[in-house]
Structure 1
């Protein structure tokens, strides 16, 4: 039927692009090494996608496991104007962190303007904290383990601040025994939360709504949901953002080496496991694989 998948024109993998560019001018020996590196890179991101697919199937069949994906959407300008002059003006940004539950197919959009909070690690951690404490018990009252998928952005998801929050929430949650945070391979991080963002972007292009305030964005996101994806907008206020960085300095000590006396680098981490029975430390893996 002459059908095919369109190759992405934006947000391509920088590593794939770099290898393909080097292959054009490489010698025979250099090309062999580049091809081997490219194969390893492909195996890594395909294994991560396969693991996410397996965890999604596990969430569908089990009541004790919940699986979510989360990602921060591209900033939304306020007011939203089509005129080219608006491009050069300083506009108010509205942020949207979407958390998608893979079993119920519901999306929770945590939204706030930049006058209420930033888009750093503390802000992301505060949204995740609210979801785990207030939303997750209603969605999965019998869940004992929460599996989270995200990209590997060090400034937002992959850092000591989010780690501290997850260690804290594992101790506070009355139902969760384990939380596992898995990171997809950079450049290959398409998730269900990104599909939700695509629905919002499509709605943004065809809307006739006048968007002058952040609450107008909230209403647009509510109307962007369809039969297969339901959006719940949670309006974040200044009081809902916590400074977990202070808790890091006062209650935790992050060491530079692990128990095997190996140097710990966030760059190499592919998954982190938090256990309620041993909340003073966490386990991690250098590559994504089944536990």
Structure 2
């Protein structure tokens, strides 16, 4: 990782300033240590199928089929994005963010305190980048299919133009996205509003969504407080 970064820096600087003479690797390492700079390899969870294949515990045919489905789903999503860009369809991505707790502070004493569990279900328009966050805590709703069906139906009902088909992308989480409650709710909505709604799923283990990374980056340096109501 450090070698690659060093080569990139050298090539970039030398192209802009050919007269500059590159220093040695030792100088580079000393400068990093002096300025307290380090390179970190990004961490990314791998799916069980991929890990099993890398450890030679999985047949190659099963792994290749898994990769084929992953590429097929991503290609289909890219085609839908093109339809959305042409305003021929409304392309949505729905997902549940990782559990959040409130209050969220750096105080060590709070580690042992009871916290309020909060959830954030997001519906994101891939083309317009319009996002609605359905934020609720454990006292307001539970994590059942009825809750998520209510959120997505509420979002679609607020759309001004339902003459175009609505395409919903999500992962294959059963209680959240892949259940008869949500399917029946969307079916009833499509009949009532005379529109077409598609449900499409990404391959398990490769379900990167567009919006949660931005939320996590903004929350990383933020503090969340609670207020006592008298």
Same fold (TM over 0.5): yes
What is the distance in 1 between the residues matched to 2:120 and 2:111?
A: 20
CA contact (8 A) 1:59 1:103 kept: yes
Say whether 1:179 aligns with 2:191. no
**1:108-123 alignment runs, 5 A limit:** 108-123=132-147
State the shift of 1:85 in Å. Answer: 4.1
**1:1-291 alignment runs, 5 A limit:** 2=8, 9-21=43-55, 23=56, 34-63=59-88, 65-134=89-158, 136-137=159-160, 141=161, 143-174=163-194, 176=195, 178-192=196-210, 196-207=211-222, 209-212=223-226
CA contact (8 A) 2:102 2:224 kept: no
State the shift of 1:10 in Å. Answer: 3.8
- The gaps in structure 1 that reach 5 residues or longer are 27-32, 214-291
Q: Greater Rg, structure 1 or structure 2?
A: 2
What is the distance in 1 between the residues matched to 2:72 and 2:219?
A: 34
What is the distance in 2 between the residues matched to 1:198 and 1:116?
A: 25
What is the distance in 2 between the residues matched to 1:154 and 1:80?
A: 29
What is the distance in 1 between the residues matched to 2:115 and 2:107?
A: 13
Alpha carbons of structure 1 residues 10 and 112: separation in structure 2 relative to 1, 3 Å? same
What is the distance in 2 between the residues matched to 1:8 and 1:185?
A: 22
Give me the TM-score of the superposition, normalised by structure 1. 0.61
Alpha carbons of structure 1 residues 152 and 45: separation in structure 2 relative to 1, 3 Å? same
State the shift of 1:8 in Å. Answer: 5.8
| Count of matched residue positions in the alignment of Structure 1 and Structure 2 | 191
Q: CA offsets, 1:87-132, max 9 Å, x none?
A: 4433111111111102211111111111110122111111001001
Q: Secondary structure at the match of 1:46?
A: helix
What is the distance in 1 between the residues matched to 2:71 and 2:110?
A: 41
Give me the TM-score of the superposition, normalised by structure 2. 0.76
- The gaps in structure 2 that reach 5 residues or longer are 1-6, 10-39
2:14 equivalent in structure 1 = none
Alpha carbons of structure 1 residues 108 and 155: separation in structure 2 relative to 1, 3 Å? same
Q: CA offsets, 1:1-36, max 9 Å, x none?
A: 649xx9862432121112222x1xx6xxxxxx7222
Alpha carbons of structure 1 residues 116 and 181: separation in structure 2 relative to 1, 3 Å? same
